[in-house]
Amino acid sequence: MSDAVNPIPSEFGSLVVQLTVSDVAAAVRFYMNAFDADELFRNQLPGDRRVFHCELLIGNGRFMLHDEFLERGLPSPTTLGGTPVSIHLYVADAEATFAAALQAGARSISQVERRFWGVMSGTLEDPFGHRWIIVTRLEDLAPEEVLARSMDTAPNERLPVGKPGLRR
Protein backbone atom coordinates (compact mmCIF):
# COMPACT_ATOMS: atom_id res chain seq x y z
CA MET A 1 0.00 0.00 0.00
CA SER A 2 1.38 3.40 -1.00
CA ASP A 3 1.54 6.29 1.45
CA ALA A 4 1.72 8.81 -1.39
CA VAL A 5 -0.57 11.78 -0.90
CA ASN A 6 -1.91 13.74 -3.87
CA PRO A 7 -0.48 17.27 -3.39
CA ILE A 8 -3.74 18.76 -4.76
CA PRO A 9 -6.79 17.31 -3.00
CA SER A 10 -9.22 15.71 -5.44
CA GLU A 11 -12.18 17.65 -4.04
CA PHE A 12 -10.54 20.98 -4.97
CA GLY A 13 -9.06 22.53 -8.06
CA SER A 14 -5.64 24.11 -7.78
CA LEU A 15 -7.15 27.53 -6.98
CA VAL A 16 -9.61 27.84 -4.09
CA VAL A 17 -11.33 30.99 -2.83
CA GLN A 18 -11.49 31.57 0.94
CA LEU A 19 -13.78 34.40 2.03
CA THR A 20 -13.65 36.27 5.32
CA VAL A 21 -17.12 37.35 6.45
CA SER A 22 -18.57 39.08 9.50
CA ASP A 23 -21.01 36.24 10.24
CA VAL A 24 -20.49 32.76 8.76
CA ALA A 25 -23.92 31.47 9.81
CA ALA A 26 -25.67 34.34 8.02
CA ALA A 27 -23.34 34.02 5.01
CA VAL A 28 -24.10 30.31 4.67
CA ARG A 29 -27.84 31.07 4.68
CA PHE A 30 -27.32 33.79 2.06
CA TYR A 31 -25.21 31.58 -0.25
CA MET A 32 -27.74 28.75 0.07
CA ASN A 33 -30.64 31.06 -0.85
CA ALA A 34 -28.82 33.12 -3.48
CA PHE A 35 -26.64 30.51 -5.21
CA ASP A 36 -28.11 27.17 -4.15
CA ALA A 37 -24.95 26.39 -2.16
CA ASP A 38 -24.55 23.26 -0.05
CA GLU A 39 -22.71 23.45 3.25
CA LEU A 40 -20.23 20.60 3.49
CA PHE A 41 -18.99 21.26 7.04
CA ARG A 42 -17.93 23.91 9.53
CA ASN A 43 -15.50 24.04 12.43
CA GLN A 44 -15.47 26.30 15.44
CA LEU A 45 -13.90 26.19 18.87
CA PRO A 46 -16.09 25.54 21.93
CA GLY A 47 -17.13 28.79 23.55
CA ASP A 48 -16.31 30.91 20.46
CA ARG A 49 -19.21 31.90 18.18
CA ARG A 50 -16.77 32.49 15.32
CA VAL A 51 -16.27 29.83 12.68
CA PHE A 52 -12.64 29.25 11.76
CA HIS A 53 -13.37 27.01 8.77
CA CYS A 54 -16.45 26.27 6.67
CA GLU A 55 -16.70 24.72 3.21
CA LEU A 56 -19.48 25.29 0.70
CA LEU A 57 -20.20 23.92 -2.74
CA ILE A 58 -21.85 25.90 -5.53
CA GLY A 59 -22.28 23.68 -8.56
CA ASN A 60 -18.92 21.96 -8.80
CA GLY A 61 -17.03 24.86 -7.18
CA ARG A 62 -15.93 24.35 -3.61
CA PHE A 63 -14.92 27.37 -1.53
CA MET A 64 -14.16 28.22 2.07
CA LEU A 65 -15.45 30.76 4.57
CA HIS A 66 -14.37 31.91 7.97
CA ASP A 67 -15.40 34.65 10.36
CA GLU A 68 -13.34 37.75 10.96
CA PHE A 69 -10.39 37.23 13.26
CA LEU A 70 -9.10 40.77 13.67
CA GLU A 71 -6.49 39.64 16.19
CA ARG A 72 -4.99 37.51 13.39
CA GLY A 73 -5.19 40.23 10.73
CA LEU A 74 -8.27 38.74 9.01
CA PRO A 75 -10.85 41.52 8.52
CA SER A 76 -13.93 41.16 6.33
CA PRO A 77 -14.79 43.54 3.48
CA THR A 78 -17.42 45.06 5.80
CA THR A 79 -14.70 46.12 8.23
CA LEU A 80 -12.42 47.29 5.39
CA GLY A 81 -15.19 49.26 3.63
CA GLY A 82 -15.16 47.12 0.48
CA THR A 83 -13.12 44.61 -1.47
CA PRO A 84 -10.83 44.84 -4.52
CA VAL A 85 -11.70 41.23 -5.46
CA SER A 86 -14.45 40.01 -7.79
CA ILE A 87 -15.65 36.41 -7.83
CA HIS A 88 -16.91 35.07 -11.18
CA LEU A 89 -19.74 32.58 -10.82
CA TYR A 90 -20.69 30.73 -14.00
CA VAL A 91 -24.31 29.55 -13.93
CA ALA A 92 -26.84 28.15 -16.40
CA ASP A 93 -29.13 31.21 -16.06
CA ALA A 94 -27.48 34.47 -15.01
CA GLU A 95 -30.76 36.37 -14.86
CA ALA A 96 -32.46 33.86 -12.53
CA THR A 97 -29.40 33.53 -10.28
CA PHE A 98 -28.98 37.31 -10.12
CA ALA A 99 -32.65 37.73 -9.19
CA ALA A 100 -32.36 35.06 -6.47
CA ALA A 101 -29.29 36.80 -5.03
CA LEU A 102 -31.11 40.15 -4.95
CA GLN A 103 -34.09 38.48 -3.26
CA ALA A 104 -31.71 36.95 -0.68
CA GLY A 105 -30.24 40.37 0.17
CA ALA A 106 -27.54 41.22 -2.38
CA ARG A 107 -27.19 44.71 -3.87
CA SER A 108 -26.97 45.23 -7.63
CA ILE A 109 -23.87 46.96 -8.96
CA SER A 110 -24.68 46.37 -12.65
CA GLN A 111 -27.71 44.65 -14.12
CA VAL A 112 -27.47 41.44 -16.11
CA GLU A 113 -27.03 42.21 -19.79
CA ARG A 114 -25.43 40.79 -22.89
CA ARG A 115 -21.70 41.65 -23.08
CA PHE A 116 -19.55 41.94 -26.20
CA TRP A 117 -17.33 39.03 -25.09
CA GLY A 118 -20.20 36.55 -25.53
CA VAL A 119 -21.80 36.34 -22.10
CA MET A 120 -24.79 37.53 -20.11
CA SER A 121 -23.50 38.95 -16.85
CA GLY A 122 -24.28 41.25 -13.99
CA THR A 123 -22.39 42.31 -10.88
CA LEU A 124 -23.66 42.35 -7.33
CA GLU A 125 -22.39 42.78 -3.81
CA ASP A 126 -23.39 40.23 -1.22
CA PRO A 127 -24.44 41.35 2.29
CA PHE A 128 -20.88 40.63 3.52
CA GLY A 129 -19.12 42.97 1.09
CA HIS A 130 -17.97 40.43 -1.51
CA ARG A 131 -18.47 41.32 -5.19
CA TRP A 132 -19.83 38.56 -7.46
CA ILE A 133 -20.04 38.61 -11.25
CA ILE A 134 -22.84 36.26 -12.26
CA VAL A 135 -22.15 34.91 -15.76
CA THR A 136 -23.74 32.68 -18.38
CA ARG A 137 -21.62 32.04 -21.46
CA LEU A 138 -23.57 32.42 -24.70
CA GLU A 139 -20.81 32.09 -27.30
CA ASP A 140 -17.39 30.47 -27.62
CA LEU A 141 -15.18 33.27 -28.92
CA ALA A 142 -11.50 33.28 -29.73
CA PRO A 143 -9.44 36.07 -28.10
CA GLU A 144 -9.12 37.76 -31.51
CA GLU A 145 -12.93 37.87 -31.87
CA VAL A 146 -13.30 39.44 -28.41
CA LEU A 147 -10.66 42.04 -29.28
CA ALA A 148 -12.37 42.85 -32.60
CA ARG A 149 -15.74 43.26 -30.87
CA SER A 150 -14.19 45.46 -28.20
CA MET A 151 -13.06 47.91 -30.89
CA ASP A 152 -16.72 48.33 -31.92
CA THR A 153 -17.79 48.93 -28.30
CA ALA A 154 -17.88 52.27 -26.50
CA PRO A 155 -14.71 52.73 -24.41
CA ASN A 156 -16.71 53.06 -21.18
CA GLU A 157 -18.35 49.67 -21.83
CA ARG A 158 -14.94 47.99 -22.10
CA LEU A 159 -13.95 48.83 -18.53
CA PRO A 160 -14.44 46.57 -15.48
CA VAL A 161 -17.63 47.13 -13.49
CA GLY A 162 -17.21 48.63 -10.03
CA LYS A 163 -18.98 50.84 -7.54
CA PRO A 164 -19.02 54.48 -8.67
CA GLY A 165 -17.54 57.07 -6.36
CA LEU A 166 -14.63 55.07 -4.93
CA ARG A 167 -11.95 57.22 -6.54
CA ARG A 168 -8.90 57.83 -4.38
| Tens-digit pLDDT profile for residues 74-114 | 999 999 999 989 999 999 999 999 999 999 999 999 999 99
Question: Does pLDDT of 117 surpass 50?
Answer: yes
Report pLDDT digits (tens) over 125-141: 999 999 999 999 999 99
**DSSP character at residue 71:** G
Question: Within 13 Å of residue 2, how many CA atoms lie on the same side as its CB?
Answer: 3
pLDDT given at position 155: 77
Percent of the chain with pLDDT over 90: 74
In contact, 131 and 124? CB cutoff 8 Å: yes
pLDDT of residue 13: 78
Please say whether the dihedral angle defined by the alpha carbons of residues 120, 161, 103 and 15, taken in this order, is positive or negative.
positive
- Rounded CA-CA distance 60/72 in Å is 30
Amino acid at 98: F
Average pLDDT, rounded, for the chain: 91
Collapsing DSSP states into helix, strand and coil, what is residue 43?
strand
Q: Domains plus CATH for the chain? A: 18-158 (3.10.180.10)
- Res. 12: pLDDT tops 90: no
Contact 28, 37 (CB under 8 A): yes
User: pLDDT at position 14, please?
Assistant: 80
Find the mean pLDDT for residues 56-76: 95
Tell which wins on pLDDT, 41 or 167: 41
